[in-house]
Amino acid sequence: MAKVVLKLEDDVSTDVIYPGRYMATVLPSETPKYAFADHAVFNEKLNQGKIPAGSILVAGLNFGCGSSREQAASCLQGHGLIVLAKSFSRIFMQNAVNVGLRVAVVSELEAKEGDELELAPNRVTNRTSSRDFAIQVLPKAYREIMEGGGLIAHARKKLLERTHRTS
């Protein structure tokens, strides 16, 4: 079970998630400190380790709209956060998969900050309200890449498997 640590509305842009003034910082080891930098209280909690990995951000429609900056996904992944949204922008979704950020589309989700959620492969149970919500199952390739730690880790694993089979 995981706690909802931030509830967001529709159309949260990548500039809210990772402000453009930090675009010179691209290393995945450095981007997490700028996650939601303009949301000072939340950013401080993240950077002080007061929000445990596996905590959940809940958002409305079109999460990650705006620019194509990969840092918006990598800064969240660097904190081990999970994002549940009613929908994601196409580019943000691809970036999330590429960096191994755990995301799920839950179009009917109702949850608020502090709610305890239980995640299963095809549903979310809000233990606080005793309600279940269907997860839109992502394509198998997306799931494998995310579960494998992102595109680079997944590709490396596949190459090693292929190398061991042929040797």
Residue 105 sits in a domain whose CATH number is 3.20.19.10
- Is the predicted pLDDT of residue 162 greater than 70, yes or no? yes
Range(s) of the domain holding residue 45: 2-136
Comparing CA positions, the residue from 58, 46, 79 lying closest to residue 4 is: 58
Q: What is the pLDDT of residues 83-94, one digit of tens each?
A: 999 999 999 999
Comparing CA positions, the residue from 117, 129, 42, 112 lying closest to residue 79 is: 42
Kindly state whether residue 145 falls inside one of the protein's structural domains: no
Kindly state whether residue 56 falls inside one of the protein's structural domains: yes
- DSSP annotation of 157 reads H
Q: What is the pLDDT of residues 30-72, one digit of tens each?
A: 999 999 999 999 999 999 999 999 999 999 999 999 989 899 9
pTM: 0.93
Number of domains within the chain: 1
Kindly state whether residue 167 falls inside one of the protein's structural domains: no
- Phi, psi of 4, deg, nearest 5: -75, 120
Kindly state whether residue 158 falls inside one of the protein's structural domains: no
Comparing CA positions, the residue from 105, 104, 96, 50 lying closest to residue 76 is: 96
Kindly state whether residue 163 falls inside one of the protein's structural domains: no
Kindly state whether residue 111 falls inside one of the protein's structural domains: yes
Kindly state whether residue 162 falls inside one of the protein's structural domains: no
Kindly state whether residue 120 falls inside one of the protein's structural domains: yes
